[in-house]
Structure 1
Protein backbone atom coordinates (compact mmCIF):
# COMPACT_ATOMS: atom_id res chain seq x y z
CA UNK A 1 0.00 0.00 0.00
CA UNK A 2 1.27 3.44 -0.89
CA UNK A 3 2.05 5.35 2.26
CA UNK A 4 3.99 8.36 3.32
CA UNK A 5 6.39 6.92 5.86
CA UNK A 6 7.11 10.16 7.63
CA UNK A 7 5.78 10.40 11.15
CA UNK A 8 5.26 13.60 13.05
CA UNK A 9 5.85 13.40 16.77
CA UNK A 10 4.09 15.77 19.07
CA UNK A 11 4.65 16.64 22.66
CA UNK A 12 2.39 18.71 24.83
CA UNK A 13 3.26 21.52 27.21
CA UNK A 14 0.44 23.44 28.86
CA UNK A 15 0.73 27.23 28.95
CA UNK A 16 -1.51 29.93 30.39
CA UNK A 17 -2.87 31.92 27.49
CA UNK A 18 -5.22 34.80 26.92
CA UNK A 19 -8.67 34.07 25.56
CA UNK A 20 -9.40 34.17 21.85
CA UNK A 21 -12.80 35.08 20.51
CA UNK A 22 -14.52 32.99 17.84
CA UNK A 23 -16.71 35.52 16.04
CA UNK A 24 -17.47 35.19 12.32
CA UNK A 25 -18.08 31.58 11.20
CA UNK A 26 -15.23 29.72 9.53
CA UNK A 27 -16.06 27.63 6.46
CA UNK A 28 -13.90 25.25 4.48
CA UNK A 29 -14.17 23.67 1.04
CA UNK A 30 -12.05 20.76 -0.15
CA UNK A 31 -11.80 20.12 -3.89
CA UNK A 32 -10.68 16.62 -4.88
CA UNK A 33 -8.99 15.53 -8.09
CA UNK A 34 -11.42 14.09 -10.63
CA UNK A 35 -11.35 10.32 -10.90
CA UNK A 36 -11.63 10.41 -14.69
CA UNK A 37 -8.41 12.40 -15.16
CA UNK A 38 -4.75 11.53 -14.86
CA UNK A 39 -5.27 10.68 -11.18
CA UNK A 40 -8.05 8.21 -11.95
CA UNK A 41 -5.90 5.10 -11.70
CA UNK A 42 -5.16 6.01 -8.07
CA UNK A 43 -8.49 7.42 -6.87
CA UNK A 44 -11.25 5.76 -8.92
CA UNK A 45 -12.78 4.15 -5.81
CA UNK A 46 -11.05 6.14 -3.09
CA UNK A 47 -14.13 7.97 -1.85
CA UNK A 48 -16.04 4.68 -1.74
CA UNK A 49 -13.62 3.24 0.82
CA UNK A 50 -12.18 6.23 2.71
CA UNK A 51 -13.81 9.25 4.33
CA UNK A 52 -12.67 12.43 6.04
CA UNK A 53 -14.19 12.50 9.52
CA UNK A 54 -13.01 15.99 10.39
CA UNK A 55 -10.32 18.57 9.71
CA UNK A 56 -8.49 20.65 12.32
CA UNK A 57 -6.86 23.99 11.58
CA UNK A 58 -4.05 24.78 14.02
CA UNK A 59 -2.73 28.33 14.26
CA UNK A 60 0.39 28.87 16.30
CA UNK A 61 3.08 31.30 17.33
CA UNK A 62 6.80 30.57 17.49
CA UNK A 63 8.52 29.46 20.67
CA UNK A 64 12.07 29.89 21.87
CA UNK A 65 13.15 26.99 19.71
CA UNK A 66 12.44 26.70 16.01
CA UNK A 67 10.68 23.34 16.36
CA UNK A 68 8.28 24.39 19.14
CA UNK A 69 5.18 26.52 18.60
CA UNK A 70 2.44 27.44 21.04
CA UNK A 71 -1.07 26.72 19.72
CA UNK A 72 -3.09 29.94 19.61
CA UNK A 73 -5.95 28.82 17.38
CA UNK A 74 -7.74 25.47 17.11
CA UNK A 75 -10.70 25.21 14.71
CA UNK A 76 -12.44 21.89 13.94
CA UNK A 77 -14.31 21.48 10.63
CA UNK A 78 -16.81 18.70 9.89
CA UNK A 79 -18.26 17.82 6.47
CA UNK A 80 -21.83 18.94 5.78
CA UNK A 81 -22.15 18.57 2.00
CA UNK A 82 -20.41 16.60 -0.76
CA UNK A 83 -21.33 17.31 -4.36
CA UNK A 84 -19.27 16.52 -7.47
CA UNK A 85 -15.63 16.95 -6.46
CA UNK A 86 -16.22 19.48 -3.68
CA UNK A 87 -16.86 18.87 0.01
CA UNK A 88 -18.09 21.72 2.23
CA UNK A 89 -17.32 21.88 5.94
CA UNK A 90 -18.80 23.81 8.85
CA UNK A 91 -16.24 24.84 11.43
CA UNK A 92 -16.24 25.69 15.10
CA UNK A 93 -13.62 26.40 17.73
CA UNK A 94 -11.19 29.13 18.71
CA UNK A 95 -9.22 31.09 16.15
CA UNK A 96 -6.24 33.36 16.65
CA UNK A 97 -6.75 37.10 16.58
CA UNK A 98 -3.98 37.84 14.09
CA UNK A 99 -2.23 36.33 11.10
CA UNK A 100 -0.27 33.31 12.30
CA UNK A 101 1.49 30.25 11.01
CA UNK A 102 -0.83 27.31 10.48
CA UNK A 103 -1.19 23.63 9.64
CA UNK A 104 -4.25 21.64 8.64
CA UNK A 105 -4.90 18.16 10.00
CA UNK A 106 -7.21 15.59 8.40
CA UNK A 107 -8.64 12.59 10.26
CA UNK A 108 -9.29 9.85 7.68
CA UNK A 109 -10.91 6.48 8.31
CA UNK A 110 -12.29 3.52 6.37
CA UNK A 111 -15.99 3.56 5.46
CA UNK A 112 -16.09 -0.08 4.33
CA UNK A 113 -13.86 -3.13 4.57
CA UNK A 114 -10.47 -2.69 2.87
CA UNK A 115 -6.84 -3.62 3.39
CA UNK A 116 -5.84 -1.41 6.33
CA UNK A 117 -2.52 -0.92 8.06
CA UNK A 118 -1.67 -0.81 11.75
CA UNK A 119 -2.71 2.06 13.99
CA UNK A 120 0.39 4.22 14.45
CA UNK A 121 -1.28 7.31 15.87
CA UNK A 122 -3.22 8.25 19.01
CA UNK A 123 -6.50 6.53 18.23
CA UNK A 124 -10.09 7.41 19.16
CA UNK A 125 -12.65 4.81 18.11
CA UNK A 126 -15.53 7.23 18.68
CA UNK A 127 -14.17 9.29 15.78
CA UNK A 128 -12.61 6.60 13.60
CA UNK A 129 -14.84 3.56 14.25
CA UNK A 130 -12.42 0.92 12.97
CA UNK A 131 -13.00 -1.44 15.90
CA UNK A 132 -16.69 -0.69 16.16
CA UNK A 133 -17.12 -1.70 12.51
CA UNK A 134 -14.63 -4.60 12.85
CA UNK A 135 -12.56 -3.36 9.90
CA UNK A 136 -9.34 -4.46 11.64
CA UNK A 137 -10.43 -8.03 12.43
CA UNK A 138 -7.59 -10.35 11.43
CA UNK A 139 -9.81 -12.83 9.62
CA UNK A 140 -11.24 -10.03 7.46
CA UNK A 141 -7.89 -8.43 6.70
CA UNK A 142 -6.41 -11.78 5.67
CA UNK A 143 -8.81 -11.95 2.74
CA UNK A 144 -8.09 -8.39 1.52
CA UNK A 145 -5.53 -7.44 -1.13
CA UNK A 146 -4.06 -4.08 -2.08
CA UNK A 147 -6.19 -2.13 -4.53
CA UNK A 148 -4.28 0.68 -6.32
CA UNK A 149 -7.40 2.79 -7.00
CA UNK A 150 -8.52 3.27 -3.37
CA UNK A 151 -6.68 6.51 -2.61
CA UNK A 152 -7.93 10.02 -1.84
CA UNK A 153 -6.20 12.93 -3.59
CA UNK A 154 -6.97 16.57 -2.78
CA UNK A 155 -6.45 19.30 -5.36
CA UNK A 156 -6.97 22.40 -3.22
CA UNK A 157 -8.46 23.61 0.07
CA UNK A 158 -10.13 26.97 0.69
CA UNK A 159 -10.68 28.21 4.27
CA UNK A 160 -12.76 31.36 4.76
CA UNK A 161 -13.67 33.48 7.77
CA UNK A 162 -10.40 33.63 9.67
CA UNK A 163 -9.50 36.85 11.44
CA UNK A 164 -6.99 38.30 8.99
CA UNK A 165 -6.73 36.14 5.89
CA UNK A 166 -8.49 33.49 3.81
CA UNK A 167 -6.31 30.42 3.31
CA UNK A 168 -5.92 28.82 -0.10
CA UNK A 169 -3.89 25.62 -0.05
CA UNK A 170 -2.84 24.26 -3.45
CA UNK A 171 -1.84 20.58 -3.56
CA UNK A 172 -1.03 20.55 -7.28
CA UNK A 173 -0.62 17.33 -9.24
CA UNK A 174 -1.63 14.13 -7.44
CA UNK A 175 1.66 12.53 -8.54
CA UNK A 176 3.86 15.36 -7.29
CA UNK A 177 6.03 14.53 -4.25
CA UNK A 178 4.90 10.95 -4.96
CA UNK A 179 3.22 9.37 -3.05
CA UNK A 180 2.78 12.12 -0.46
CA UNK A 181 -0.33 13.61 -2.08
CA UNK A 182 -2.15 10.28 -2.08
CA UNK A 183 -3.99 9.26 1.10
CA UNK A 184 -4.10 5.48 1.10
CA UNK A 185 -5.30 4.46 4.54
CA UNK A 186 -6.83 5.50 7.84
CA UNK A 187 -4.78 7.93 9.90
CA UNK A 188 -4.05 11.49 10.95
CA UNK A 189 -2.49 13.59 8.18
CA UNK A 190 -0.91 17.04 8.48
CA UNK A 191 -0.36 19.50 5.64
CA UNK A 192 3.28 20.20 4.79
CA UNK A 193 4.89 22.56 2.29
CA UNK A 194 8.09 24.22 1.15
CA UNK A 195 8.36 27.64 -0.44
CA UNK A 196 7.27 27.53 -4.08
CA UNK A 197 6.11 23.89 -3.91
CA UNK A 198 2.45 22.80 -3.52
CA UNK A 199 1.36 21.13 -0.30
CA UNK A 200 1.58 17.43 0.50
CA UNK A 201 0.52 15.25 3.46
CA UNK A 202 2.63 13.94 6.34
CA UNK A 203 1.37 11.25 8.71
CA UNK A 204 0.98 12.53 12.27
CA UNK A 205 0.87 10.84 15.66
CA UNK A 206 -2.07 12.85 17.05
CA UNK A 207 -3.87 16.16 16.70
CA UNK A 208 -3.91 18.49 19.73
CA UNK A 209 -7.32 19.40 21.11
CA UNK A 210 -6.46 22.06 23.72
CA UNK A 211 -5.60 25.71 23.39
CA UNK A 212 -2.29 26.76 24.91
CA UNK A 213 -0.51 23.47 24.21
CA UNK A 214 2.84 23.57 22.49
CA UNK A 215 3.50 21.58 19.35
CA UNK A 216 6.89 20.14 18.53
CA UNK A 217 7.83 17.83 15.70
CA UNK A 218 10.64 16.04 13.97
CA UNK A 219 10.88 13.93 10.85
CA UNK A 220 11.59 10.25 11.32
CA UNK A 221 12.03 8.09 8.26
CA UNK A 222 10.74 4.55 8.54
CA UNK A 223 12.32 1.53 6.86
Structure 2
Protein backbone atom coordinates (compact mmCIF):
# COMPACT_ATOMS: atom_id res chain seq x y z
CA UNK A 1 0.00 0.00 0.00
CA UNK A 2 1.25 3.49 -0.82
CA UNK A 3 2.34 5.43 2.30
CA UNK A 4 -0.11 8.14 3.31
CA UNK A 5 2.59 10.79 3.01
CA UNK A 6 2.73 10.14 -0.74
CA UNK A 7 -0.94 10.96 -1.30
CA UNK A 8 -1.37 14.39 -2.86
CA UNK A 9 -4.18 16.73 -1.94
CA UNK A 10 -7.12 16.52 -4.38
CA UNK A 11 -6.86 18.67 -7.47
CA UNK A 12 -9.80 20.83 -6.38
CA UNK A 13 -7.84 22.16 -3.40
CA UNK A 14 -5.31 23.94 -5.62
CA UNK A 15 -7.64 26.74 -6.72
CA UNK A 16 -10.68 27.59 -4.59
CA UNK A 17 -13.20 30.35 -4.24
CA UNK A 18 -14.10 31.65 -0.79
CA UNK A 19 -17.33 33.29 0.38
CA UNK A 20 -18.60 34.73 3.65
CA UNK A 21 -21.32 37.10 4.87
CA UNK A 22 -21.77 39.19 7.98
CA UNK A 23 -25.42 39.99 8.56
CA UNK A 24 -28.09 41.56 10.75
CA UNK A 25 -28.89 38.21 12.41
CA UNK A 26 -29.14 34.47 11.97
CA UNK A 27 -32.56 34.06 10.30
CA UNK A 28 -31.81 33.29 6.66
CA UNK A 29 -35.33 34.22 5.59
CA UNK A 30 -35.54 37.71 7.12
CA UNK A 31 -32.07 38.96 8.03
CA UNK A 32 -29.95 41.08 5.71
CA UNK A 33 -26.40 41.30 4.41
CA UNK A 34 -24.14 43.92 5.97
CA UNK A 35 -20.72 42.88 4.64
CA UNK A 36 -19.52 40.21 2.24
CA UNK A 37 -16.31 38.80 0.84
CA UNK A 38 -15.70 36.77 -2.30
CA UNK A 39 -12.21 35.75 -3.34
CA UNK A 40 -9.97 33.09 -4.85
CA UNK A 41 -7.02 31.32 -3.20
CA UNK A 42 -4.19 29.40 -4.82
CA UNK A 43 -2.80 26.02 -3.70
CA UNK A 44 -0.79 27.61 -0.89
CA UNK A 45 -3.73 29.59 0.46
CA UNK A 46 -2.46 32.86 -1.00
CA UNK A 47 -5.16 35.34 -1.97
CA UNK A 48 -5.26 35.77 -5.75
CA UNK A 49 -8.38 37.91 -6.00
CA UNK A 50 -10.53 39.52 -3.33
CA UNK A 51 -13.58 41.72 -3.24
CA UNK A 52 -15.38 43.15 -0.22
CA UNK A 53 -18.75 44.84 0.10
CA UNK A 54 -20.44 47.00 2.73
CA UNK A 55 -24.20 47.33 2.31
CA UNK A 56 -26.81 49.54 3.84
CA UNK A 57 -29.16 46.68 4.73
CA UNK A 58 -32.19 48.96 4.82
CA UNK A 59 -33.09 47.87 8.35
CA UNK A 60 -31.53 48.60 11.75
CA UNK A 61 -28.62 46.36 12.74
CA UNK A 62 -29.47 44.85 16.15
CA UNK A 63 -27.03 45.40 19.00
CA UNK A 64 -26.43 41.66 19.20
CA UNK A 65 -25.23 41.57 15.60
CA UNK A 66 -23.08 44.66 16.09
CA UNK A 67 -21.48 42.94 19.07
CA UNK A 68 -20.41 40.11 16.74
CA UNK A 69 -19.09 41.99 13.72
CA UNK A 70 -18.69 45.53 15.04
CA UNK A 71 -20.82 47.29 12.41
CA UNK A 72 -23.51 49.72 13.50
CA UNK A 73 -26.64 50.92 11.76
CA UNK A 74 -25.18 54.43 11.57
CA UNK A 75 -21.96 53.21 9.92
CA UNK A 76 -23.80 51.07 7.39
CA UNK A 77 -26.16 53.90 6.47
CA UNK A 78 -23.31 56.39 6.10
CA UNK A 79 -20.85 54.21 4.21
CA UNK A 80 -22.79 51.24 2.81
CA UNK A 81 -23.99 50.94 -0.75
CA UNK A 82 -27.59 50.13 -1.72
CA UNK A 83 -28.40 46.57 -0.77
CA UNK A 84 -29.76 45.68 -4.21
CA UNK A 85 -26.51 46.70 -5.90
CA UNK A 86 -24.42 44.78 -3.38
CA UNK A 87 -26.53 41.62 -3.63
CA UNK A 88 -26.38 41.69 -7.43
CA UNK A 89 -22.60 42.07 -7.42
CA UNK A 90 -22.09 39.24 -4.91
CA UNK A 91 -24.27 36.92 -7.00
CA UNK A 92 -22.35 37.88 -10.15
CA UNK A 93 -18.99 37.31 -8.46
CA UNK A 94 -20.00 33.85 -7.22
CA UNK A 95 -21.47 32.89 -10.60
CA UNK A 96 -18.22 33.92 -12.26
CA UNK A 97 -16.19 31.61 -10.02
CA UNK A 98 -18.55 28.66 -10.48
CA UNK A 99 -18.74 29.22 -14.25
CA UNK A 100 -14.93 29.00 -14.30
CA UNK A 101 -15.16 25.53 -12.75
CA UNK A 102 -13.73 26.64 -9.40
CA UNK A 103 -15.34 25.26 -6.22
CA UNK A 104 -16.49 27.74 -3.58
CA UNK A 105 -15.67 27.20 0.07
CA UNK A 106 -18.20 28.48 2.61
CA UNK A 107 -18.16 27.51 6.28
CA UNK A 108 -21.68 26.38 7.22
CA UNK A 109 -22.63 26.91 3.59
CA UNK A 110 -26.43 26.67 3.98
CA UNK A 111 -26.43 29.83 6.08
CA UNK A 112 -24.57 32.06 3.61
CA UNK A 113 -26.06 30.66 0.40
CA UNK A 114 -29.62 30.56 1.77
CA UNK A 115 -29.48 34.10 3.12
CA UNK A 116 -28.01 35.32 -0.18
CA UNK A 117 -30.77 33.52 -2.11
CA UNK A 118 -33.46 35.22 -0.03
CA UNK A 119 -31.78 38.61 -0.35
CA UNK A 120 -31.65 38.15 -4.13
CA UNK A 121 -35.35 37.34 -4.28
CA UNK A 122 -36.10 40.32 -2.03
CA UNK A 123 -34.25 42.74 -4.31
CA UNK A 124 -35.30 41.32 -7.67
CA UNK A 125 -31.94 39.74 -8.46
CA UNK A 126 -31.86 36.32 -10.13
CA UNK A 127 -30.85 34.01 -7.25
CA UNK A 128 -28.34 31.17 -7.24
CA UNK A 129 -30.65 28.27 -6.47
CA UNK A 130 -28.26 25.33 -6.74
CA UNK A 131 -24.65 26.41 -6.21
CA UNK A 132 -22.15 23.67 -7.13
CA UNK A 133 -19.55 22.62 -6.44
CA UNK A 134 -19.47 23.90 -2.88
CA UNK A 135 -17.06 22.76 -0.16
CA UNK A 136 -18.16 23.20 3.45
CA UNK A 137 -15.31 22.60 5.92
CA UNK A 138 -17.81 22.22 8.76
CA UNK A 139 -19.48 19.25 7.07
CA UNK A 140 -16.21 17.68 5.92
CA UNK A 141 -14.57 18.04 9.34
CA UNK A 142 -17.54 16.38 11.05
CA UNK A 143 -17.53 13.57 8.49
CA UNK A 144 -13.86 12.67 8.94
CA UNK A 145 -13.40 13.49 12.64
CA UNK A 146 -16.87 12.77 13.96
CA UNK A 147 -16.00 12.00 17.57
CA UNK A 148 -13.71 14.94 18.33
CA UNK A 149 -15.06 16.75 21.36
CA UNK A 150 -15.63 20.48 21.56
CA UNK A 151 -17.22 23.21 19.49
CA UNK A 152 -17.04 23.34 15.70
CA UNK A 153 -17.05 27.10 15.22
CA UNK A 154 -14.71 28.41 12.56
CA UNK A 155 -12.44 29.87 15.23
CA UNK A 156 -12.09 26.53 17.02
CA UNK A 157 -11.74 24.44 13.85
CA UNK A 158 -9.19 26.83 12.36
CA UNK A 159 -7.10 26.52 15.50
CA UNK A 160 -7.40 22.72 15.37
CA UNK A 161 -5.98 22.67 11.83
CA UNK A 162 -3.33 25.31 12.63
CA UNK A 163 -4.93 27.91 10.37
CA UNK A 164 -4.43 31.51 11.40
CA UNK A 165 -7.62 33.52 11.86
CA UNK A 166 -7.18 37.20 12.65
CA UNK A 167 -10.34 39.25 12.99
CA UNK A 168 -12.93 36.50 13.40
CA UNK A 169 -16.45 37.58 12.32
CA UNK A 170 -15.00 39.89 9.71
CA UNK A 171 -16.12 38.63 6.31
CA UNK A 172 -12.75 38.60 4.53
CA UNK A 173 -10.88 37.04 7.45
CA UNK A 174 -13.51 34.34 7.91
CA UNK A 175 -13.73 33.57 4.20
CA UNK A 176 -9.97 33.20 3.75
CA UNK A 177 -9.60 31.15 6.94
CA UNK A 178 -12.40 28.81 5.84
CA UNK A 179 -10.65 28.31 2.50
CA UNK A 180 -7.38 27.47 4.21
CA UNK A 181 -9.17 25.06 6.56
CA UNK A 182 -10.62 23.32 3.50
CA UNK A 183 -7.11 23.01 2.10
CA UNK A 184 -5.83 21.66 5.44
CA UNK A 185 -8.62 19.06 5.38
CA UNK A 186 -7.70 18.18 1.80
CA UNK A 187 -4.12 17.55 2.87
CA UNK A 188 -4.93 15.61 6.02
CA UNK A 189 -7.59 13.38 4.49
CA UNK A 190 -6.16 13.14 0.97
CA UNK A 191 -6.27 9.30 0.84
CA UNK A 192 -10.01 9.25 1.50
CA UNK A 193 -11.36 12.42 -0.13
CA UNK A 194 -12.87 12.34 -3.61
CA UNK A 195 -10.59 13.64 -6.33
CA UNK A 196 -13.44 15.64 -7.87
CA UNK A 197 -15.04 18.68 -6.26
CA UNK A 198 -18.39 17.63 -7.77
CA UNK A 199 -18.15 14.19 -6.18
CA UNK A 200 -17.27 15.78 -2.84
CA UNK A 201 -20.25 18.11 -3.25
CA UNK A 202 -22.55 15.11 -3.71
CA UNK A 203 -21.13 13.32 -0.68
CA UNK A 204 -21.60 16.40 1.48
CA UNK A 205 -25.32 16.37 0.72
CA UNK A 206 -25.56 12.93 2.37
CA UNK A 207 -23.16 13.79 5.18
CA UNK A 208 -25.08 16.95 6.08
CA UNK A 209 -28.36 15.04 6.14
CA UNK A 210 -26.90 12.38 8.45
CA UNK A 211 -25.30 14.99 10.69
CA UNK A 212 -28.62 16.82 11.03
CA UNK A 213 -30.40 13.58 11.93
CA UNK A 214 -27.81 12.86 14.63
CA UNK A 215 -28.11 16.41 15.97
CA UNK A 216 -31.90 16.07 15.99
CA UNK A 217 -31.66 12.96 18.17
CA UNK A 218 -29.31 14.72 20.56
CA UNK A 219 -31.46 17.86 20.84
CA UNK A 220 -34.56 15.77 21.51
CA UNK A 221 -32.68 13.82 24.20
CA UNK A 222 -31.75 17.02 26.07
CA UNK A 223 -35.16 18.65 25.58
CA UNK A 224 -34.02 21.32 23.15
CA UNK A 225 -36.38 20.00 20.47
CA UNK A 226 -39.81 18.39 20.73
CA UNK A 227 -39.99 14.78 19.50
CA UNK A 228 -41.75 15.86 16.29
CA UNK A 229 -39.19 18.55 15.42
CA UNK A 230 -36.12 18.09 13.24
CA UNK A 231 -32.93 19.94 12.34
CA UNK A 232 -32.96 20.88 8.66
CA UNK A 233 -30.23 18.89 6.92
CA UNK A 234 -30.61 20.50 3.49
CA UNK A 235 -27.26 21.37 1.95
CA UNK A 236 -25.78 23.57 0.51
CA UNK A 237 -28.90 25.70 0.45
CA UNK A 238 -32.19 25.67 2.29
Comparing both structures, which one devotes a greater share of its residues to helix?
2
> More relative contact order in 1 or in 2 (CA 8 Å, sep 6+)?
1
Comparing both structures, which one devotes a greater share of its residues to strand?
1
